Amino acid sequence: MPQEIERKFLVTGEYKSQAYAQSRIVQGYICSARGRTVRIRIRDDRGYLTIKGASDAAGISRYEWEKEIPLDEARELMKLCEPGVIDKTRYLVHSGRHTFEVDEFYGENAGLTVAEVELASVDEPFEKPAFIGQEVTGDVRYYNSQLMRRPFSTWE
């Protein structure tokens, strides 16, 4: 089974000038149950269907399967999604041998910016860029499926 191993951080500094690419992402969830999610994503002009399993105890690793689907099918599937949508711009920033995906959120999640780095193993070392702040790996509030239900703007 394909495993996704990643760590997630809040962003506290400037990152846009370091980005080598960016894309707009809109996504919804057909299922956002804890331990299993089915996501529809439109990234620029491409559609994706993603299924994710439960995270390990530390929130670092979980099953992930993704397949590109035709854009018109992704748009149709978005109509079946649970209420709420995630709208963000993703910036890609190199740091050492890794790429950080920095997500700047809009709408009800405006004001939130997080960065993720995918790793080959749970204990793989990586270089943190200067804009990386507090680690939030495993904090379910920062999962996109949870931000859809309980947006950042509603936090106290």
Task: List, in order, residues 6 or more apart from 140 with CB less than 8 Å away.
Answer: 34, 59, 146
Q: Which of the residues 29, 91, 142, 143 is marked catalytic?
A: 29
Contact 48, 29 (CB under 8 A): no
143 is catalytic: no
> DSSP string covering 54-71, please?
EE-TTSSEEEEEEEEE-H
Contact 62, 55 (CB under 8 A): yes
Q: Which residues are designated catalytic?
A: 29
